[in-house]
């Protein structure tokens, strides 16, 4: 029961193999048994989950159930959930009870989803290892001495560790795809604007995008089909129709043109990871695709540009946490200035403070043109590289990460090394493109992820490609300890 994904659970609910209450209780029992060792959940909502499951069973009995009715999931603790704490992994919001649901949460709730709880994350989504959380680091279910990736590490560990069948997540520079790679999951970051950001606590507004962490591409297609779509409450939401992602999953790949960036197979990529990625590419050739080497000439600037743009936007977004209106407030401030300083100093963790300082510096008088504007110009060059590449190929493939999951604490004292974790994923966010990571091999008992990048709003093609690969391979079926 617990090793099933969304599609399997939906079919079992339709057949009456078990009820939503039964599957929900099974996952709640699993969370009670194993969350202590994984630290994947910040908040668990058993009473609410069982009430939603019972309501879903009644809807199913009435004959009005949809595909998602009664399916239990978890939400990354960056999405506002009415009446339930939304902490964003920070002391700053440890006591914040959201008065409304994020659009993503509301859409899934309306589709009949059951919320098991809220998952752990790097503080304000700033991190690549899920070690900056106020609630402590998340452990990788494949090896509890290793990180699960970040910032959506709690969602990844919960799904990989069989504490839930699927979870929402967000991706600002790789925070869905890198954890998917480290935990052996399918993680999709849609095109910027495809999924509403309303009610999703902001880190870097021009980069943040909501997505999913699931076992399979089929599960991702089901879940994304519910989450996607125009939202008038989000000014960055794009008013385009959402295709039926599931309807296109089985389209043959004959004639697919795959681009391989030479920059992603250069120094820094672990040889054992490259072997697995090359083998996955050969599998696509057997499915009828052709492989062509391409160049993303400006991709080596992506990390530098990102760590100017993202902190600058974070500096502006996080200025609202001042101890006045909501969130953490220091004890017994002597005056207003003392309250501002101590509330922010005590409420934010070290990595968040570091990025606020970098961003404030980059936006300051005399440095705005030299750093922020220049980074935005580089961003345009990176986007142009992708535009040119897609005149020659249909999708771009390569490793999601240059290595497998690394040990807890290995990079916490070296911020630059941590920033380089997203070296293959950041450019996709800067360009606003959709990207998906899928399991594509194993190295020393740990998963390897293959990243697939597509044109704007071409999520259907990415899901189709991922699904056909998963029909031909079994990497996505492997689970920790199996």
**With 0-12 CB in 10 A as exposed, 13-18 as middle and 19+ as buried, what is 36?**
exposed
The answer to whether the peptide bond before residue 135 is cis (omega within 30 degrees of 0) is no
Q: Considering the entire predicted model, what is its pTM?
A: 0.96
- The answer to whether 138 and 148 have CB atoms below 8 angstroms apart is yes
Those residues whose C-beta lies under 8 Å from the C-beta of residue 96, and which sit 6 or more positions away, are 85, 86, 87, 326, 327
- Asked if residue 462 is part of any domain, the answer here is yes
Question: Of the listed 90, 151, 196, 315, which one is catalytic?
Answer: 151
The CA angle 359-362-365, to the nearest 5 degrees, is: 125
- Distance, in Å, from the CA atom of 153 to the CA atom of 114, rounded to the nearest integer, reads 21
Closest CA to 358 of 426, 415, 434, 441: 415
Residue 151 among the catalytic residues: yes
Using CA atoms, how far apart are residues 93 and 79, in angstroms rounded to an integer? 12
Q: Which residue has the tokens 């991190």?
A: 127
Contact 331, 404 (CB under 8 A): no
- Please tell me which residue in 20, 76, 155, 437 is annotated as part of the active site: 76
Q: What's residue 482's pLDDT? A: 64
For residue 395, the cross-strand partners are: 258
The answer to whether 150 and 179 have CB atoms below 8 angstroms apart is yes
DSSP 465: H
Residue 341 lies in a domain: no
Q: Tell me whether residue 427 is in a domain.
A: no
Cis peptide before 373 (omega within 30 of 0): no
Task: Provide the edge-to-edge strand list for the sheet that holds 290-294.
Answer: 41-44, 114-119, 72-76, 166-171, 209-214, 186-189, 435-443, 446-453, 395-399, 257-261, 290-294
Give me the catalytic one of 129, 175, 181, 437.
Answer: 175
Q: What is the full per-residue pLDDT of the chain (482 aa) written as tens digits?
A: 788 999 999 999 999 999 999 999 999 999 999 999 999 999 999 999 999 999 999 999 999 999 999 999 999 999 999 999 999 999 999 999 999 999 999 999 999 999 999 999 999 999 999 999 999 999 999 999 999 999 999 999 999 999 999 999 999 999 999 999 999 999 999 999 999 999 999 999 999 999 999 999 999 999 999 999 999 999 999 999 999 999 999 999 999 999 999 999 998 999 999 999 999 999 999 999 999 999 999 999 999 999 999 999 999 999 999 999 899 999 999 999 999 999 999 999 999 999 999 999 999 988 999 999 999 999 999 999 999 999 999 999 999 999 999 999 999 989 888 988 999 999 999 999 999 999 999 999 999 999 999 999 999 999 999 999 999 999 999 999 76
**In a 3-state reduction of DSSP, which class is residue 250?**
coil
Residue 291 inside a domain? The answer is no
Give the pLDDT of residue 220: 98
Look at the alpha carbons of 329, 334, 339, 341 in this order and tell me if their dihedral is positive or negative: negative
In a domain, 42, yes or no: yes
CA atoms within a 13 Å half-sphere pointing along the CA-CB vector of 265: 18
Q: Is 474 exposed, middle or buried (0-12, 13-18, 19+ CB in 10 A)?
A: exposed
Note whether residue 423 is domain-resident: no
In 3D, which of 100, 104, 108 has the Cα closest to residue 81?
A: 100
Does residue 76 carry a catalytic annotation?
yes
Cα torsion angle, 101, 63, 212, 4, sign: positive
Question: For residues 151 and 180, is the Cβ–Cβ distance under 8 A?
Answer: no
Helices and strands (DSSP H and E) totals, the chain: 15, 11
The count of other CB atoms within 10 Å of the CB of residue 206 is 16
Answer for the pair 249, 387: CB distance below 8 angstroms, yes or no: no
The answer as to whether 39 is a domain residue is yes
377 is catalytic: no
Of 101, 116, 109, 217, the closest CA to residue 158 belongs to 116
Distance of CA 392 to the CA centre of its chain: 29
Q: Please give the distance of CA 374 from its chain centroid, rounded to a whole number.
A: 28
Q: What is the CATH number of the domain that holds 94?
A: 3.90.1300.10
Residue 440: in which H helix or E strand, if any? strand 435-443
Cα–Cα dist 63/151, whole Å: 39
> How many other C-beta atoms can be found within 10 angstroms of the C-beta atom of residue 367?
14
The answer as to whether 128 is a domain residue is yes
Q: If we measure between CA atoms, which residue out of 118, 136, 204, 163 comes closest to residue 23?
A: 163
> For 29-113, where are the E strands, in sequence order?
41-44, 72-76
Question: Which residues, in sequence order, are bridge partners of residue 436?
Answer: 188, 452
Rounded to whole angstroms, the Cα distance separating 177 from 193 reads: 18
Its domain, for residue 119, covers 6-256+406-412+433-477
Handedness of CA 298, 300, 302, 305 (dihedral sign): negative
Task: Count up the domains in the chain and report the number.
Answer: 1
Given phi > 0 = left and psi -120 to 50 = alpha, else beta, which region is 330?
Answer: beta
Residue 481's pLDDT is 78
- Position 366 scores a pLDDT of 87
């Amino acid at each position: 029961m617990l090793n099933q994904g969304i599609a399997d659970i939906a079919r079992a609910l339709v057949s009456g193999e078990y009820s939503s209450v039964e599957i929900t209780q099974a996952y709640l029992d699993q969370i009670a048994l194993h969350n202590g060792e994984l630290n994947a959940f910040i908040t668990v909502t058993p009473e609410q989950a069982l009430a939603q499951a019972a309501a879903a069973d009644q809807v199913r009995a009435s004959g009005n159930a949809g595909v998602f009715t009664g399916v239990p999931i978890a939400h990354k603790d960056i999405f506002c959930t009415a009446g339930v704490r939304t902490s964003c992994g920070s002391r700053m919001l440890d006591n914040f009870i959201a008065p409304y649901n994020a659009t993503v949460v509301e859409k899934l709730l309306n589709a009949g989803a059951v919320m098991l709880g809220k998952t752990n994350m790097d503080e304000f989504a700033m991190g690549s290892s899920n070690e900056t959380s106020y609630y402590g680091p998340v452990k990788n279910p494949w090896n509890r001495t290793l990180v699960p990736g970040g910032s959506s590490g709690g969602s990844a560990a919960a799904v990989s560790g069989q504490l839930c069948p699927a979870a929402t997540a967000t991706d600002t520079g790789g925070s869905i795809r890198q954890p998917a790679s480290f935990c052996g999951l399918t993680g999709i970051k849609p095109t910027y604007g495809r999924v509403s950001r309303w009610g999703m606590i902001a880190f870097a507004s021009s980069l943040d995008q909501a997505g999913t962490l699931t076992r399979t591409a089929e599960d991702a297609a089901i879940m994304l089909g519910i989450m996607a779509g125009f939202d008038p409450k989000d000014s960055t939401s794009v008013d385009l129709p959402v295709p039926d992602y599931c309807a296109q999953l089985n389209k043959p790949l004959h004639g697919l043109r795959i681009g391989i960036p030479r920059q992603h197979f250069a120094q820094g990529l672990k040889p054992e990871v490259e072997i697995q990625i090359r083998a996955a590419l050969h599998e696509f050739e057997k499915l009828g695709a052709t492989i062509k080497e391409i160049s993303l000439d400006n991709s080596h600037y992506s990390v530098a540009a990102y760590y100017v743009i993202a902190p600058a936007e974070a500096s502006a977004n996080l200025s609202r946490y001042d101890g006045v209106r909501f969130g953490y407030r220091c004890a017994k401030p002597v005056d207003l200035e003392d309250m501002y300083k101590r509330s922010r100093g005590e409420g934010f963790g070290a990595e968040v403070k570091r990025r606020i300082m970098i961003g404030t510096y980059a936006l300051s008088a005399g440095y705005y043109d030299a750093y922020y504007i220049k980074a935005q110009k580089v961003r345009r060059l990176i986007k142009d590289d992708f535009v040119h590449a897609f005149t020659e190929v249909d999708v771009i493939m390569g490793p999601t990460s240059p290595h497998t999951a690394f040990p807890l604490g290995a990079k916490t004292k070296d911020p630059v090394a941590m920033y380089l974790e997203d070296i293959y994923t950041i450019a996709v966010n800067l360009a606003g493109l959709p990207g998906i990571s899928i399991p594509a091999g194993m190295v020393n008992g740990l998963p390897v992820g293959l990243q697939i990048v597509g044109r704007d709003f071409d999520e259907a093609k990415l899901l189709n490609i991922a699904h056909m690969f998963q029909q031909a391979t079994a990497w996505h079926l492997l689970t920790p300890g199996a």
